[in-house]
Amino acid sequence: MSATFTLINPATAQPIGEVARASVDEVDAAVARAVVAQRAWAGLPPVARADALRSFARAVESHVEELAQLEVRNSGHPVGSARWEASHVAQVLNFYAGAPERLSGQQIPVAGGLDVTFHEPYGVVGVIVPWNFPMTIASWGFAPALAAGNAVVLKPAELTPLTAIRLGELALEAGLPEGVFQVVTGSGSVVGQRFVSHPDVRKVVFTGSTSVGTDVAAGCARELKPVTLELGGKSANIVFADADLEKAAASAPGAVFDNAGQDCCARSRILVERSAYDRFLELLEPAVTAWRVGDPAQEGTDMGPLISASHRSTVEGFLGGADVAFRGSAPDGDGPLGDGFWLPPTVVLAERGDRLAREEVFGPVVAVLPFDDEADAIQLANDTIYGLAGSIWTENLGRAVRVARGVKSGVLSVNSHSSVRYWTPFGGMKASGLGRELGPDAAEHFTETKNVFFATE
């Protein structure tokens, strides 16, 4: 096996560098360093860990532009989005810097004494990050894990490791002890699998496909190792006739085409009440054609390329025989972007049971389907194995509550496509995941509860 792998700029299809491919022995060495470092890290006063995380956050804040430019080159994210993502990492670190001093247990009166609970860190946590949002998703795992007193060994995706590598360097520059936060690059079959099987990695956090997540869960089960899984999605954007149709249509491209649709939360199904169906499509078309697809390094670009040629082929495979209503534009032909992995935003008129109505595409393709009434909308929204996110558009508060309760998804929004915030819980139902990330209690998810009884008689 090669000791390195080549990184490609997806906007140009040109190589941008080589990154080391770690062996099992190198993973084991990183875990051994983490075991030693974690003991000292967990033994620090909570305020010291909090100060270290705030220092890390300040280091990220001072390197937002550098991190953003790395993401543009390595992942094809529009530069405006990449800046937001880098700033988000700093915000997540600042938020969880408050956790070390708040990991308090309980006092439970019992006959003959007193029960006290403690939140003890697992030890070493393995975090496996996907290629679609390399910085933000990494921070969702490593920030609360570090806050709880764990050491973290992080594996970025093979395709997009550059920002994770730089975050590891910034952690050291900010004063985090050696070995507390390490980034190990390599393949999932080697590095990720070793996280699952290594006895000293006591928890695994995985974000990626449902099929791989199932294997990760099975491996962790054999080790009796806790795991958090954030997996696929086929989220519904439900538009009722009484909604503000102009606002719903204007919001729809951002809900599905952000990051070229390579988003597990993408609202890749638009379900429209039948009486508003034609009008909604009339409003949606100009919103889609106005979506700016092009050079991710240019200010104002809304959407960049897909991550690779093979992934573009996979997405295109969903479009064979599809009833395409309209499409946006994308670079093609000659020029520096001619060889990039481009695909225009595409709107398809689908029918119930179609692949496009039920399976995750993970690209800039949205299926539009009509529904008849509230019950039909809920049934159609739930007609998939996934249950991660979704949106509901209506002016009827009672309907919004009923539909939100009826749709089997972990995070929903009403009259908005925004439903992910670092201070609120995030996670899926059904095949979309296991466990929850983010929110005020996330650091506790990286601890074990220890119960101690003190006899007083």
Question: Which residues are designated catalytic?
Answer: 230, 264
Q: What angle do CA 376, 377, 378 make, to 5 degrees?
A: 90
Q: How far apart are CA 242 and CA 259, in angstroms?
A: 30
Residues 6+ positions from 30 with CB-CB distance below 8 Å = 22, 153, 182, 184
Question: Are the CB atoms for 430 and 382 separated by under 8 Å?
Answer: no
Residue with tokens 């390094």: 297
Q: What angle do CA 26, 29, 34 make, to 5 degrees?
A: 130
Tokens (6 digits) for 266: 């993408």
Residue with tokens 């996934």: 386
* Pure H helices in 161-243: 162-173, 193-197, 210-222
**Cα atoms in the Cβ-side hemisphere of radius 13 Å centred on 446:** 33
State which amino acid sits at residue 68. A
Question: Are the CB atoms for 233 and 428 separated by under 8 Å?
Answer: yes
DSSP 106-160: -EEEETTEEEEEEEEE-SEEEEE--SSSHHHHHHHHHHHHHHTT-EEEEE--SS-
Residue 451: Cβ-neighbour burial (10 angstroms; 0-12, 13-18, 19+): exposed
Tokens (6 digits) for 259: 């990051």
Tokens (6 digits) for 15: 């190589």
426 DSSP 8-state letter: B
Question: Are the CB atoms for 312 and 343 separated by under 8 Å?
Answer: yes
Q: How far apart are CA 226 and CA 141, in angstroms?
A: 14
Q: How far apart are CA 408 and CA 284, in angstroms?
A: 26
